[in-house]
Amino acid sequence: MTIDPITLSVIQSGLQQVCDEMDLTFSRAAFSPVIAEANDRSDGIYSAEDGALIAQGAGGLPVFVGTMQFSTRTLIEMIAEGRVLPPDPDDIYIVNDPYLGGTHLMDVRFAKPVYRGGDIFCWLSNTGHWPDIGGSVPGGFSASATAVEQEGLRLPPVKLFKRGVMDSEIYAIICSNIRVADQRIGDVRAQASALQVGEERLGQLLDRYGDDTVRAAIAELRARAAQQMRARIAEIPDGLYRSQAIVDSDGVVNEPLEINLAITKAGDTLTFDLGESSPPCAGPMNSVLATTLSSVYLAMRHIFPDVPMSAGAFEPLTVLTPEGTFLDAHYPRPVSGCAAEVSQRIAEAVFAALVGPLPKRVTAAPAGTSGNFGLGGYDPAKGRSYVMYQLSGGGYGGNADHDGLSNGCSTIGISKAPPVEIMEQQFPVLYRRYALREGSGGAGRHRGGFGLEYELELRRGEARASFVMDHGRVGPQGALGGADGAPNSVTVWRDGVPYTPEHLSKEQDIALKAGDRVAVKTPGGGGYGDPATRDPHAVAEDRRLGYYPAED
């Protein structure tokens, strides 16, 4: 079937709009600030045949692009093999098993089949970061876990909603294994409602243009995305490009982990080899294969943002399975740090490898950490338990055109830190400082953006704090002669005495009482180009604004 360009463009926008409305519904209806305010979620449309990505919301996390595709594909395969009950209309599956195409346990995925004429036309899926999924510490970020069971409840694909009705027994099992369970129903209903809205909007699009026309448009859009990605890759000279990125430690063994990347460019394809990276680690910084692949995809999405979001864009990219490394985790390796931290180190390695051949498209390294901070306790004033999850931004790397953005979102998505006012309303904390970390950007012809520094105080009761962050050992890499950005920093004040975690920005179960404080300084972005070539007027302006001392 031949589709005229205007119809193709309208259908493409229509599919995008379906996903955007699912994103909006999810955030507006969710209870938890991490979803409702920080937008740590994503929604998409996936092929009924192989789970391939058709469209994803513009406001969704890029790291979920690959993982939801792999997760949906795994669900389809398990149904075909008889390992999962086949779907009926209005069924919704729930799954968070990281080894089945996921990330970490806190990222809970829903999947719903869309039927047309008795057959499945496609799948709708979304992922939301639940603030707690059980495990040894509030929030799930167990910095010293040595097995996935210590990180929380692991769910295989099961029908949470059967013909539109929630299975109360399965939900009871979930609630019996997580903290603040009474607050989860708001997120569960929001997540399911987003898929229902998506099904309604997609049905309207199909009714308007016809199933065959939309199906043909999807195939054409996939082919064009592959064609556009190949055209962009052709800009890179053929050759071998190498880089390295460092993970501070695994949280258990205080030694750095290496991500060693070799990219081979040949014609209009790229091959990514991570096989020389560090072996599997004891702690939670292992990455499941789906997250590793998705990390490469999101890095290329950063470099070539004009290529449409579709499975076709990934076809020219071959990622060799890094067997025997911490980037190909298998059960029971702990993985809580893979999506939020290791994924960003992988992306950083891609940037570092390609900034040479693509100096006008690739930036110096961004902050590259989500700043995962979990705080759980009992609030005596409200008479209830709580789990607070704080993520934070950092500096972006400088680039060929300008300085890096300050306090931008993480590499893996567009999630933003929840507003301070919301956090202080919801939880017994007081933010004593929340400001740019001036001077943290790496020097360069275009300097890196500044990180964030905040300090919060526990106002009442007792609590336990846990951190899974990164870039505390070394800062984000500068590019083409630029300096590295400032590294991450965590200081805990208990009874007025400062304490720095042994693993710098990874630790769990730190006991706090009222008056104790936590101070975090997130990384600045790497600098781009030789600092000696920076415009003198820009140097003077930075000093006038107090970003750097006059002698720097």
DSSP assignment string, 321-357: --TTSTTS--TT---TTIIIIIHHHHHHHHHHHHTTT
Strand arrangement, sheet containing 239-247: 239-247, 257-266, 269-273, 317-319
CA quadruple 204, 190, 99, 159: dihedral sign:
negative
pLDDT band for position 357 (cuts 50, 70, 90): very high
* Domain contains 469: yes
Using CA atoms of 530, 535, 536, 539 in order, give the dihedral in degrees to the nearest 10.
-70
Q: What rounded mean pLDDT belongs to the chain?
A: 95
Among 183, 198, 226, the domain boundary falls at 226
CA quadruple 401, 402, 403, 405: dihedral sign:
negative
* H or E element in which residue 212 lies: helix 211-233
Contact criterion met (CB below 8 Å) for 126 and 187 = no
Residue 159: per-residue pLDDT: 98
What secondary structure does DSSP assign to 269-321, as a single string?
EEEEE-TTSPPP-SSTT---HHHHHHHHHHHHHHH-TTS-SSGGGGTTEEE--
* H or E element in which residue 453 lies: strand 451-458
* Domain contains 513: yes
- Read off φ and ψ for residue 192, nearest 5 degrees: -70, -40
Among 226, 241, 269, the domain boundary falls at 226
Contact criterion met (CB below 8 Å) for 447 and 401 = no
491 vs 453: CA distance, rounded Å: 11
Instruction: Report, as an integer, the average pLDDT of 26-51.
Output: 95
Q: Cite the DSSP H helix spans in 360-431.
A: 420-426
Tokens 């990505």 -> residue: 53
Residue 67's domain spans which residues? 5-226
Q: What angle do CA 539, 541, 546 make, to 5 degrees?
A: 100
In the structure encoding, which two tokens stand for residue 61, read together? 């996390």
Helices 5-29 and 211-233, interaxial angle, to 10°?
Answer: 90
Would you say residue 141 has pLDDT above 80? yes
Instruction: Report, as an integer, the average pLDDT of 513-523.
Output: 98
* Domain contains 78: yes
Residue 548: per-residue pLDDT: 83
Residue 415: per-residue pLDDT: 79
Among 226, 256, 281, the domain boundary falls at 226
Would you say residue 552 has pLDDT above 70? no
- Read off φ and ψ for residue 418, nearest 5 degrees: -60, 150
One-letter identity of residue 101: G
Instruction: Report, as an integer, the average pLDDT of 367-385.
Output: 95
In Å, what is the CA distance from 304 to each residue of 86, 225, 298, 434? Answer: 38, 11, 10, 33
Q: Cite the DSSP H helix spans in 144-183.
A: 168-175
* Domain contains 298: no
Q: What angle do CA 528, 534, 539 make, to 5 degrees?
A: 115
Residue 505: per-residue pLDDT: 92
Tens of pLDDT, residues 96-128: 999 999 999 999 999 999 999 999 999 999 999
Residue 59: per-residue pLDDT: 86
pLDDT above 90 coverage of the chain, percent: 93
* Domain contains 193: yes
In Å, what is the CA distance from 95 to each residue of 98, 111, 144, 153, 330? Answer: 9, 8, 24, 10, 17
Residue 58: per-residue pLDDT: 87
HSE at residue 301, side-chain half, CA atoms within 13 A, is 25
Tens of pLDDT, residues 157-197: 999 999 999 999 999 999 999 999 988 999 999 999 999 99
Please name every residue paired with 528 in a beta bridge, in sequence order, or none if there are none.
446, 479
Would you say residue 155 has pLDDT above 70? yes
85 vs 16: CA distance, rounded Å: 30
36 vs 183: CA distance, rounded Å: 13
Helix (H, G, I), strand (E, B) or coil at 1: coil
Contact criterion met (CB below 8 Å) for 27 and 35 = yes
Residue 550: per-residue pLDDT: 67
Residue 494: per-residue pLDDT: 97
Tens of pLDDT, residues 468-500: 999 999 999 999 999 999 999 999 999 999 999
Tens of pLDDT, residues 290-322: 999 999 999 999 999 999 989 999 999 999 999
Instruction: Report, as an integer, the average pLDDT of 531-537.
Output: 97
> Total domain count for the chain?
2
Please name every residue paired with 491 in a beta bridge, in sequence order, or none if there are none.
519
Of 447, 349, 455, give the one whose Cα is nearest residue 406.
Answer: 447
* Domain contains 405: yes
What's the start-to-end Cα distance of the chain, in Å? 64
Q: Which residues contact 354 (CB under 8 A, 6 or more apart)?
A: 236, 241, 263, 303, 361, 362
Please name every residue paired with 342 in a beta bridge, in sequence order, or none if there are none.
none
Of 286, 413, 260, 479, give the one whose Cα is nearest residue 349.
Answer: 260
* Domain contains 23: yes
What is the Cα gyration radius of the chain? 23
Tokens 């694909």 -> residue: 157
Q: Which residues contact 253 (CB under 8 A, 6 or more apart)?
A: 281, 282, 283
Give pTM, 2 decimals.
0.96
What's the DSSP call for residue 408? Answer: B
Q: How many CB atoms lie within 10 A of CB 16?
A: 17
Would you say residue 551 has pLDDT above 70? no
Tens of pLDDT, residues 47-82: 999 999 999 988 888 888 779 999 999 999 999 999
One-letter identity of residue 477: Q
Strand-strand pairing, 107-116 and 92-95: antiparallel
Tens of pLDDT, residues 399-455: 999 999 999 988 887 778 889 999 999 999 999 999 999 999 999 999 999 999 999
pLDDT above 70 coverage of the chain, percent: 99
Instruction: Report, as an integer, the average pLDDT of 236-255.
Output: 97
Asked, as a colleague might, if the bond just before 332 is cis with ω within 30 of 0, I would say yes
* Domain contains 382: yes
